Structure 1
């Protein structure tokens, strides 16, 4: 195995870090949080133990660093769904269907799994909370872009917040129950509920 020098060149250092992140994300998606150990990531990446510890001194630091890459992949899933879902003229329906498609992608489910694992791991919880603060702006940008056509509505912020929570819940349910017909029914009901909220005068 090729050993990474103690003082690698900047470009090589970035490449090694990205290789480690790619390995960690692949492991998270394929094996889950419990089996994404530092040894597994080191094996997949081909990096030395010293290189791994240089970039990610702890297991929690390694896992939290994957969030940026997971968010990037989720953004790619949104763009892919946007290019495919051109038959829905209603802004809300199109946005919810695009976000629903994204929420069932492995990268989104892996991010939710990290949240679940953090419940009983204080170090991981602290690391993920910090990483999620940085990722929130990107997530907000994506949702705001999809719902831009109704952003002036007084109930917009409520609709946006509830939609995000709905999609997370639906994604978690899909892990144990794979029922496309039921999922489609829920999505259709949420589209109806969202359009109803947007057509209703705002309340204090």
Structure 2
């Protein structure tokens, strides 16, 4: 009986590993959002996560590997949230627009801009961007069914991304007005 209590109270190596990785990934996203890519360091992420530098290096040997894994982790979580919410097909475009907001978008944007001039980051981002695009397509197909063609889905993803970037230069009120004005035209363009 004592053995069972000890076993139940202690975590397995796999659980400890997963917990350490989760702390590092969450800290990396928070750091990217707060400080930007140039202000992000693996030492700072390890400190924020409350793990040793050695543990950080064991899981993620480079800054690029850590920040890309962090955004990938967030993409996976966000897609699950969107699909579990069972969104209304009538609001599919709005759901897509929401995917380009919040910490995920902010962290990804930091990486996109930095990857333009950082060859190692650029190379690390290519598979992530493929995964993000695939996840968005799958999500839109799940939400919209046959209401959008594959081309309309791809166009909508690009429009949503572009609107999210341009929204950085608008006030929340002007962005809301801008979206309200453009949303009907967008839907008329892509809906079958």
Do both share a fold (TM > 0.5)?
yes
User: Alignment length, in residue pairs?
Assistant: 178
Secondary structure of the 2:130 match is helix
Partner of 1:127: 124
Secondary structure of the 2:168 match is helix
Change (3 A) 1:77 1:13: closer
User: Are 2:83 and 2:139, in contact at CA under 8 Å, matched by a contact in 1?
Assistant: no
Change (3 A) 1:82 1:98: farther
Q: Which runs of 5+ in 2 are unaligned?
A: 1-11
1:131 is displaced (CA, Å) by 2.7
Higher helix fraction (1 or 2):
2
Determine whether 1:193 maps to 2:189.
yes
Determine whether 1:176 maps to 2:154.
no
Q: Which runs of 5+ in 1 are unaligned?
A: 1-7, 199-204
Q: What is the CA deviation profile of residues 126-168 of structure 1, one whole-angstrom value per residue up to 9, with x for unaligned ones? A: 11112333444333211111220425xxxx1221111000000
Partner of 2:99: 102
Root-mean-square deviation (CA, aligned residues, Å) is 2.2
1:45 is displaced (CA, Å) by 0.4
Change (3 A) 1:24 1:142: same
TM (norm. structure 2) is 0.82
Query: Matched residues in 2 for 1:52 and 1:21: separation?
Result: 10
Query: Matched residues in 2 for 1:158 and 1:136: separation?
Result: 13
TM (norm. structure 1) is 0.77
Larger deviation: 128-137 or 159-168?
Answer: 128-137
User: Are 1:64 and 1:131, in contact at CA under 8 Å, matched by a contact in 2?
Assistant: yes
Change (3 A) 1:133 1:193: closer
